[in-house]
């Protein structure tokens, strides 16, 4: 429950800063799934930042999950790894 609240707050702030409140419930759903998929891979803050970065790089019309999409988009994955501080 605590992590979900943190996700919603961080995602809201990230989108507000970039697109004047463009976050959608769909974005939150994908980011939450990405966080779940990567649980234990790094700290919660790093995973959340990574997942938000990857979501922001994806097209609004994308049908793949972030976890599926990252497998075919190495350049974007590396950029988000670096932005999030994932080592």
Instruction: Please state the domain extents for the chain.
Output: 2-84
Tens of pLDDT, residues 19-75 = 544 568 889 999 999 999 999 889 999 999 999 999 999 998 899 999 999 999 999
Which contacts (CB < 8 Å, 24+ apart) does range 10-15 have?
Answer: 10/48, 10/49, 10/52, 11/52, 14/52, 14/56
pLDDT of 85:
93
In 10 A of CB 53, how many CB atoms? 21
First to last CA, the chain: 27
84-to-1, 8, 25, 53, 63 alpha-carbon distances in Å: 22, 17, 22, 8, 24
């Amino acid at each position: 429950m605590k992590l979900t609240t943190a996700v919603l707050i961080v995602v809201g702030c990230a989108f507000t800063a970039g697109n004047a409140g463009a976050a959608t419930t769909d974005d939150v759903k994908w980011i939450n799934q990405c966080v779940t998929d990567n649980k234990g891979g790094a700290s919660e803050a790093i995973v959340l930042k990574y997942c938000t970065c990857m979501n922001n790089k994806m097209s609004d019309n994308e049908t793949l999950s972030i976890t599926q999409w990252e497998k075919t988009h190495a350049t974007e994955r590396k950029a988000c790894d670096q932005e999030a501080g994932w080592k």
